């Protein structure tokens, strides 16, 4: 069995419009929500084996808040450059290449791609995975390269506006 959590980066700052998109940091709300959402996920009893993140500043910063909440060292967070600006097929490729030693993976990235990937695994339409939104996908597959729409499904989601802080 495999469990994947797609986690969109927390709210980013647009205070510096000349800043390259890749380098945009979190804004004040993002710095509040990321650690709170990490604690909410930890309280569900999840124990991640691996954290994989886009190296974009806002995604990586969000991932590091989650790593801290789960007691995972910062240097153990895998930076995957292909997540940044990926399309759904690239995310599916990254998922299929995850190490089979990891049964529970947290993956941090961006929209619209994460919403599109989440919708590939659900019968109910997800209009938008919001910033710092978490989508849980569970698969009966034994290996990550066997995870596909027919044997995997969204089993839960945690969106900041739906959570009590």
Asked whether the beta carbons of 159 and 136 are under 8 A apart, the reply is: no
Report the alpha-carbon distance of residue 121 to residue 117 in Å, rounded. Answer: 7
Mean pLDDT of the chain: 96
Q: How many residues does the chain have?
A: 165
Q: Work out the percent of the chain whose per-residue pLDDT is above 90.
A: 94
Q: pLDDT-derived band of residue 149, with 50, 70 and 90 as boundaries?
A: confident
Confidence grade of residue 151 (pLDDT, cut at 50, 70, 90): confident
pLDDT of amino acid 145: 96
Do residues 135 and 154 touch, judged by C-beta distance below 8 A? yes
Q: Is the pTM of this model over 0.75?
A: yes
Range of the domain at 113: 2-162
What band does 165 get if pLDDT is binned at 50, 70 and 90?
Answer: low
Taking 90 as the threshold, does the pLDDT of residue 74 lie above it?
Answer: yes
Please, where are the H alpha helices in the chain? 28-43, 57-69, 88-96, 113-120
Q: What is the CATH classification number for the domain harbouring 125?
A: 3.40.50.1240
Average pLDDT value for residue range 112-136: 96
Tell me how far CA of residue 112 lies from CA of 36, 44, 69, 101, in angstroms: 23, 26, 26, 29
User: Domain total for the chain?
Assistant: 1
pLDDT at 66: 98
- Predicted confidence (pLDDT) at residue 60 exceeds the cutoff of 80: yes
């Amino acid at each position: 069995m495999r469990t994947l959590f797609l986690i969109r980066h927390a709210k980013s700052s647009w205070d510096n419009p000349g800043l390259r998109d890749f380098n945009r940091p979190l804004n004040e709300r993002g710095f509040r929500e990321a650690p709170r959402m990490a604690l909410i996920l930890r309280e569900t009893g999840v124990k991640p084996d691996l954290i994989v993140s886009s190296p974009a500043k806002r995604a990586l910063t969000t991932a590091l808040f989650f790593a801290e909440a789960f007691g995972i060292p910062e240097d153990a967070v895998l930076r995957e450059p292909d997540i940044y600006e990926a399309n759904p097929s690239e995310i599916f490729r990254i998922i299929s290449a995850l190490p089979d030693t990891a049964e529970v993976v947290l993956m941090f990235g961006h929209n619209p791609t994460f919403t599109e990937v989440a919708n590939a695994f659900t019968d109910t339409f997800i209009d938008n995975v919001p910033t710092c939104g978490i989508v849980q996908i569970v698969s009966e597959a034994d290996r990550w390269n066997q995870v596909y729409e027919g044997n995997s499904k969204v089993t839960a989601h945690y969106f900041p506006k739906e959570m009590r802080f």
